[in-house]
Amino acid sequence: MSFVSVFNELPLANLAQLARDATTVDVERALARSGHRSLSDFAALLSPAAAPFLEAMARESHALTVQHFGKAMRLFAPVYLSNECVNNCQYCGFSRDNPVLRTTLAVEQVMAEARHLVVEGFRNILLVAGEHPKFVSNGYLRDCVAALHTAGVPSISIEVGPLETEDYRPVVAAGCEGLVVYQETYNREVYREMHTAGPKKDFNWRLETAERGYAAGFRRLGIGALIGLGKWREEAIAVAAHAEYLLKKCWRAQLTVSLPRLRPAAGEFEPRHPMSDREMAQFVCALRLTFPHVGIVLSTRESPRLRDGLIPLGVTLMSAGSHTEPGGYTGAGSEKLHRTEHGKIVEVPAVPSEGEHCCATEQFVIADMRSAAEVAAKLRALGYEPVWKDWDPALSEKTPS
């Protein structure tokens, strides 16, 4: 049974009501729980009634994180391969209908981006691309992964358009260990409204992606919802239900949950259901209290002040020094820039004059502009150890008998 079947039977309306209407007694019961906490406990911990308990939640969340992860923070950087896309998503800067500057990096240019990050210290890279089969095929992804290994990057994950299990296998065989896919919103009605064209319209296909990836051999799976599309407590409950399912079904893989909030992007979409910083902290703590072993990811979408404040509360993986456009680190791909409208090239910009930088459009505007070195220094100042690499493919190779 896939998660789609489980999801369709979940009492989401009842859990959402609990997240809205939980009492102090419900919250105290959830906090007093020893051992496994249920989705009902999670909903209570998300509720307005739990807000006065945030300090107590933070203490337990911190203790659980240190117990299971130590005072270490894994650092990664995204490398954007392409911002070409066949989907029309109202909130995304890469959306097909946005007349933005686009490019796709050649494998050699991807290597240049990776080498730049290796010099900064990174050994953990996330390859990101818009969904466009013509430009971002599984063969292209396979070649990028293989090239990054030669550039000195042992830990590689991908965040691209969903593929079939068989299409993932060559990418895994090339040395890719992680698959990240965000459902964006778990509300079917909102999902339908947000995704008006392209293969991303298929809610169920996207929802089953992590399971297909696990069957293909990925050893890390990442899920999440884009906060701001649907009501955040309802999205959080659905993410938690998805995590609970994957922990049982895909038990050999390490699971991470990301908490991205909508940021300004081309198209100027405004969040419909904003989440405050304090509510973000409550979400992090509720996740950690319910899932002590799950990694929690925080990106440069958030401000330095908030990121620094959330570090002790349960976050275990952070991006740093990020760019969200292809060629963002080196300027690669600028020679192939073009503008699209409704998926068709309508204008090729003039070659920029000397000293003028012209680059592809970013997916969204980042909020934490600090360099990787500055983030690492802040982590050390807070008593945490920056971890640039915690995995090597050689660890999974079978030794000769």
Tokens for 246? 């994957």
The gap between the terminal CA atoms of the chain, to the nearest Å, is 38
Question: Locate tokens 């299990």: which residue?
Answer: 165
Residue 44 has pLDDT above 60, yes or no: yes
pLDDT digits (tens, 9 = 90+) for 107-142: 999 999 999 999 999 999 999 999 999 999 999 999
In degrees, to the nearest 5, what angle opens at C-alpha 385 toward C-alphas 383 and 387? 160
- Which amino acid is located at 226 in the chain? L
The segment with the largest mean pLDDT, out of 91-100, 133-142, 328-337, 355-364, is 133-142
Q: What is the average per-residue pLDDT within 339-345?
A: 75
C-alpha gyration radius of the chain: 21
Instruction: Give residues with Cβ within 8 angstroms of 187, minimum separation 6.
Output: 229, 230, 231, 234, 235, 238
| C-alpha distances in Å from residue 337, one per residue of 104, 220, 261, 358, 360 | 8, 33, 28, 9, 7
Could you tell me the pLDDT band of residue 262, with boundaries at 50, 70 and 90? confident
Number of domains in the chain: 1
C-alpha to C-alpha distance for 40 and 54, rounded to whole angstroms: 18
Assign residue 268 a region (left: φ > 0; alpha: ψ between -120 and 50; beta: otherwise).
left
Percent of the chain with pLDDT over 70: 92
Could you tell me the pLDDT band of residue 54, with boundaries at 50, 70 and 90? very high
pLDDT digits (tens, 9 = 90+) for 269-315: 888 999 999 999 999 999 999 999 999 999 999 999 999 999 999 99
C-alpha to C-alpha distance for 391 and 107, rounded to whole angstroms: 23
Could you tell me the pLDDT band of residue 211, with boundaries at 50, 70 and 90? very high
Residue 263 has pLDDT above 60, yes or no: yes
Residue 395 has pLDDT above 60, yes or no: no
**Which one has a higher pLDDT value, 266 or 337?**
337
Check residue 389 and give its pLDDT.
81
Among 242, 251, 206, which Cα is nearest to 10's? 242
Check residue 399 and give its pLDDT.
47
CB atoms within 10 A of CB 166: 11
Could you tell me the pLDDT band of residue 400, with boundaries at 50, 70 and 90? very low
The CATH number for 367's domain is 3.20.20.70
**119 within a domain of the structure (yes/no):** yes
Q: What is the average per-residue pLDDT within 38-63?
A: 98
Check residue 390 and give its pLDDT.
66
Q: Which domain holds residue 189?
A: 72-390
**39 within a domain of the structure (yes/no):** no
**344 within a domain of the structure (yes/no):** yes
Q: What are phi and psi of 329, to 5 degrees?
A: -90, -30
Check residue 397 and give its pLDDT.
56
pLDDT digits (tens, 9 = 90+) for 344-389: 776 665 555 454 447 888 888 889 999 999 999 999 999 999 999 8
Percent of the chain with pLDDT over 90: 83
Check residue 355 and give its pLDDT.
44
Could you tell me the pLDDT band of residue 265, with boundaries at 50, 70 and 90? low
**383 within a domain of the structure (yes/no):** yes
**136 within a domain of the structure (yes/no):** yes
Give the 3-state secondary structure of residue 197: strand
**401 within a domain of the structure (yes/no):** no
Residue 184 has pLDDT above 90, yes or no: yes
Tokens for 77? 């950087």
Partnered with residue 368 across adjacent β-strands are: none
**181 within a domain of the structure (yes/no):** yes
Check residue 53 and give its pLDDT.
98
C-alpha to C-alpha distance for 198 and 184, rounded to whole angstroms: 15
Among 137, 182, 178, 181, which Cα is nearest to 154's? 178
Residue 151 has pLDDT above 60, yes or no: yes
CB atoms within 10 A of CB 164: 12
C-alpha to C-alpha distance for 155 and 157, rounded to whole angstroms: 7
Is this prediction's pTM over 0.75?
Answer: yes
**364 within a domain of the structure (yes/no):** yes
